[in-house]
Each structure stands twice: as structure tokens, then as C-alpha cells.
Amino acid sequence: MIDIKLIRENRDLVKENIKKKFQDEKLPLVDEVYELDIKVRETQTKGDNLKAEKNKMSGEIGKLMKDKKIDEANKIKEEVTKMADEIVALEKEQEELNKEIKDRMLVIPNIIDDSVPIGKDDTENVEVQKFGDPVVPDYEIPYHADIINAVNGMDKEAAGRTSGEGFYYLLGDIARLHEAMIAYARDYMIDKGFTYAIPPFMIHADVVTGVMSFPEMEAMMYKIENEDLYLIGTSEHSMIGKFKDQIIKKEELPIHMTSYSPCFRKEGGSHGLEERGLYRVHQFEKQEMIVICEPEESMEWYEKMWQYTVEIFRNFDIPVRQLECCSGDLADLKVKSCDIEAWSPRQQKYFEVGSCSTLGDAQARRLGIRAKGEKGTYYLHTLNNTVVASPRGLIALLENNYQKDGSIKIPKVLQPYMGGKKKIEVKK
């Protein structure tokens, strides 16, 4: 959510930003907020003037009563009562106007950074740089579900019986490899100075609307029936929510944390669920990182964060690239975002395995996350980034470490988490 001062002082900037995101249908909201804000301030002024007059007249009542001018005192009492009723009505009107403003402000997109490329959708995202050579071996790389099944590592049929489509059992060495990736990512981030956390896996609605836009929430989140609780789609939601309504001491900044959680997503829409594989599923696990920092430090942290993910995947012997998200592909709260994509030797193209974003003060403004400085309190900046999400990360690891004989080479950094095992053999 942007600062309403932007609409008061520079409506053209806000409208131009909406156009850059190809959301012209939202343009009327800017003028609506502007007019509503004028009404709010007029109502506030009127109410303040009435309160001052009421207080002044209330003081006169005591004097009149002391002088035994009862009739005059009673007459003023009647006027004071009318004023009190009018003040209540004005406060109610102001509350309703503020709600109308907030409803519109929640839909107006955040101001994107000047460096964001302009484009309508993800087809216009821009490759920035590659890390590692995207190799295609001289033997066929099977579909990842077939690689896993060859080592008895998955049972989707049983998951269909227990839970339905979009769920899975990981078994044996594949389950262990999956957890090894998460554990390595956890330890890597701890070594970088991040505080490890395991957060709540359910959060209240006001936290959900604080960290993401309503359309995202509807598309992603599972709601617990008859409860004010949602299953998290990523631990960023509960990790940023941890600081809701807090004034953070400057000496505690920056806050940098890494969190583990299962994640739950509807994954509805035209892309559908993976019938055999694990690319689009309802449940997965992820190591996440979040940063809460001073506004002037957020871009520096953004650059650090996505590079951590690149280094981890290179340690898994996986070539990756950084893809800059264009304006039309940015969620409304984001200032700037990039995807980290892993090389698929089977498809001979890259696919997304993580995303890094800076949201400016949008989440902090919604959730009331502030610091106190010399000029008073101010909103902090929030960032988030995928460290490793599995099974997508697992798919990339399997394809890039698949051997001609059907075995799977275990990257050196993961071998200690696999009991020293160097490869996973095909089950005869």
C-alpha cells in the first residue's frame, strides 16, 4: 500500500505507475481516493472545530451554574448535547470514508523501481545473467517422475487415495535427498548470519492481507473452515507477520531471518496440477529468507539475497540464471523482483526455482512495522527470497545430476546429509 501523500501531491506519478503495470482499469481509483481524502480532512476539521467549541461552552456551564443562572446553563447544555451528537455522526462518517479509501488503496499497486523493465507479462521478463554452463548430455534425461520411480522414491497413487490429486509420498533416498537440500540451505543461511526460525503454519486474515494482495490470496490460500486462519503459502507470510504492529529499535536493524515451513497452495487455474510429477503440487517444503531493514538499505539487501540462492544451486551442480521480472509480472506490492531459474537438460530450457523481491514499505505500511528515529516513527522496508523450495529444487538436482546408468550423483555438499552416500542407485 502506497503512502496517501503520493496521491495528494503527485497523482500523475501514481497513474503513470499503474499504466506501466498495464492495469488501466485501476486509474479511476486514484481520483476517487483523492476526492475521498479531501472529504475526510474536511470532516476532521469540522469535527475538531466542534469539539473545541463544545469544550469552550462546557466550561461556561459551570460558571453560569455558580452564578445561579440556571436557565442559561440549561440552554447551553442542550446546545452541547446537540454538538456531541453531531461529533459522533462526523466521526462515523469519517470512519466510513477512511474505509472506502483503504479499500481502494489496497488495490492501487506499489510504485515500481526505475530499473524494472516495462512489459505486459512474464513472457517479457529479461534475462540478466547466467551462472554455470547449461549442459545437455549425450544421453537422454528422463522425466523427473521416471527418474524418481526408478529408485522407488515416490508414490503418488497412494497419495491420491489419502489426499487426492496434487499430493505425493517421497520415499527412501529421494525423501532423504529432499530433506538434505533443505537442511543444507538452512545451514548455509545460518552461516551467513541469518537467525533460524520455524514459524506458525497458519495465520489470521489480517496478516494475509498485510503481506499480499487480495487476488493473490484468493488464488493461493487455503482457508480453515469456521476459523480466522489460513494455511501459509510461504513462510514469508508468518515471518513478516511476526513484526505486526511493532516499533523496532534501530539498533536491532537489520533483521535477517531464515525459516523452514511446509507450504500449501491451491495451484488452480489453466496451468493445472502435475498428474505424474512434482512441478505443480498442493504441498511442498521451503527454506525462506526475509529481511526487515532501513529504507536506504533495501536495494543492497536485494542484491545480496538473490545471490545467496545462486550460490546454493551452483553448489548443487545446477546451472542457473537470473531473470528480471517486468512491470506487468510484478505482484502489486512489489517494487522490484527477480526469478532464479534452474537449467533443465531434459527440456533444454530454464524453469523457476525461486523468487527474490523487495516490497519497499508496502507490507510494513499494511502491518504497522515501524522504527523510531530522530524525526519520529517511520515505516521499514521488507524483502523476501526463496533459499530452496522442494520439490522444484529437487527436480533440478535430479536432472542435472542424472547419470547414464540411471543413478543420481549426490552433490558433494549434500553427501554429509546423506550419511556419506555419493550416489543413489537404480533399484533392480
Q: What is the pLDDT along the chain (428 residues), one digit of tens a residue?
A: 899 999 999 999 999 999 999 999 999 999 999 999 999 999 999 998 988 888 777 767 767 776 777 777 777 777 878 888 889 999 999 999 999 999 999 999 999 999 999 999 999 999 999 999 999 999 999 999 999 999 999 999 999 999 999 999 999 999 999 999 999 999 999 999 999 999 999 999 999 999 987 677 777 899 999 999 999 999 999 999 999 999 999 999 999 999 999 999 987 654 556 678 898 899 999 999 999 999 999 999 999 999 999 999 999 999 999 999 999 999 999 999 999 999 999 999 999 999 999 999 999 999 999 999 887 999 999 999 999 998 999 999 999 999 999 999 999 999 999 999 999 999 87
φ/ψ of residue 119, rounded to 5: -165, 160
Stated as kind and residue range, the H or E segment containing 102 is helix 70-105
> How many C-beta atoms surround the C-beta of residue 335 within 10 A?
22
* Residue 256 cell numbers, joined: 535477517
C-alpha 199/C-alpha 239 separation (Å) is 7
pLDDT of the residue at 270: 45
- Which is nearest to 340 in space by CA: 309, 298, 316? 309
* Residue 11 cell numbers, joined: 497523482
pLDDT of the residue at 274: 66
φ/ψ of residue 288, rounded to 5: -120, 160
CA distances, 378 to each of 84, 293, 295 (Å)? 34, 12, 10
Residue spans of alpha helices (H) in 264-417: 298-315, 362-367, 392-400
Range(s) within the chain of domains with CATH label 3.30.930.10? 122-424
pLDDT of the residue at 375: 79
Range(s) within the chain of domains with CATH label 1.10.287.40? 4-105
Three-state DSSP at 320 gives strand
C-alpha 100/C-alpha 34 separation (Å) is 11
Domain 4-105 has CATH 1.10.357.10: no
* Residue 206 cell numbers, joined: 489480517
Burial bucket for residue 127 (CB in 10 Å: 0-12, 13-18, 19+):
exposed
Burial bucket for residue 56 (CB in 10 Å: 0-12, 13-18, 19+):
exposed
φ/ψ of residue 346, rounded to 5: -70, -50
Report which residue type is found at 44: Q
> Is 245:368 a contact under the CB 8 Å cutoff?
yes
Residue spans of alpha helices (H) in 221-369: 235-241, 298-315, 362-367
Give long-range contacts, CB 8 A cutoff, 24+ apart: 168-172.
Answer: 168/278, 168/281, 168/391, 170/391
pLDDT of the residue at 62: 65
230-231 and 255-264 strand pairing? unpaired
C-alpha 58/C-alpha 165 separation (Å) is 70
pLDDT of the residue at 213: 77
pLDDT of the residue at 107: 92
Give long-range contacts, CB 8 A cutoff, 24+ apart: 300-307.
Answer: 301/254, 301/256, 301/358, 301/383, 302/336, 302/356, 302/357, 302/358, 302/383, 305/356, 305/383, 305/385, 306/338, 306/340, 306/354, 306/356, 306/385
C-alpha 204/C-alpha 232 separation (Å) is 10
C-alpha 261/C-alpha 198 separation (Å) is 7
Residue with the three cell numbers 513462510: 235
What class has domain 122-424? alpha beta
